[in-house]
Structure 1
């Protein structure tokens, strides 16, 4: 069974309320999600991926009290997973670009990503309009560079530059160097 946001959130809340069977079911459902998350991002061996999955499951279990029941569960889960991945890279003194900002914020296949969508909208509003439009078109809506350029009436190189500059500005903000 592929669990969706509603089912995972229900299992998490039930587990928080003391239902050990639902908590165990939740952890079992998280294994394939986390494997996929790490395979797409970690570029490591299967052993590394399994280690990351286990570390994340332990973190979900030990930090479950930090989950806000009114928020999207998968956003919380993948934030925990992202931190575990970063810790893993630091331990191994490995530099690895973390691409797919929108995939981290909006989990593919989950219908209820309204909170994450609002966060992305807020972030994009801080950018110049063209940069925000091009990031939204190419990185969130999935348009090709050529399609985004044609829809906006600009050149493909202008799309690439706008996306690059916009993402660079956002990353600088996340790393504490931006406004």
Structure 2
């Protein structure tokens, strides 16, 4: 199941309005997104879980600062990036700050627009190909995890990703002409 920003935003707004069950559901869904986010950037599994928990605590503590008119995901991932930067600074005092600054989002609108464009492109693919790309390339699942989620074989996931990416590349090249 793909977790969309509209679903997350609706849960956040309901939680802000006092619905505890929605807030708990939001934190549970956010945890799976954060695990995938950190899994692509951090090698140690214990560090990933620590970062997920730190981020969820920050989301809970800072929920009053969320702007109800804005998408939820950029707000969540901005917090995640800052938590990751803090983690990297704590772990590696020798790492130059300039390297870490690349992780900061200077503009929160551009990533949102990119996600919208990506969603449109993926929606133009057959459902199986789009799901395989979302699961493996966006959510960071392994091929085995994606296959189990979709109830198909691993080779089917690999073929779907390959064909989907090939179709997307052709579509994007065609748009630039």
Alignment match, 2:82: 83
Partner of 1:73: 72
* Distance verdict in 2 for CA 1:44–1:108, change over 3 Å: farther
The verdict on how the C-alpha distance between 1:64 and 1:101 changes in structure 2, with shifts beyond 3 A counting, is closer
Distance between the aligned counterparts of 1:89 and 1:25, measured in 2? 29
Residues 112 and 66 (structure 1), Cα distance of their counterparts in 2 relative to 1, 3 Å cut: farther
The corresponding residue for 1:51 is: 50
Aligned positions of 1:1-179 closer than 5 A: 1-41=1-41, 43-93=42-92, 95=95, 98=102, 106=111, 111=116
Long gaps (5+) in structure 1: 114-141, 153-179
Q: Structure 1-normalised TM-score?
A: 0.55
Counterparts of 1:108 and 1:46, CA distance in 2: 31
For residue 124 of structure 1, what is the aligned residue in structure 2? none
In 1, the alpha carbon distance for the partners of 2:117 and 2:68 equals 14
Summarize deviations over 1:30-84 as a string: whole Å, max 9, x none: 111001111112x330000000000000000000001000011101000000000
Task: Give yes or no for contact 1:27–1:57 (8 Å, CA) kept in 2.
Answer: yes
* CA–CA separation in structure 1 for the residues paired with 2:113 and 2:33: 10
Task: Say if 2:55 and 2:79, in contact at 8 Å, map to a contact too.
Answer: yes
The change in CA–CA distance for 1:38 and 1:107 in structure 2 (over 3 A counts) is farther
Q: Over the residues paired in the alignment, what is the CA RMSD in angstroms?
A: 3.6
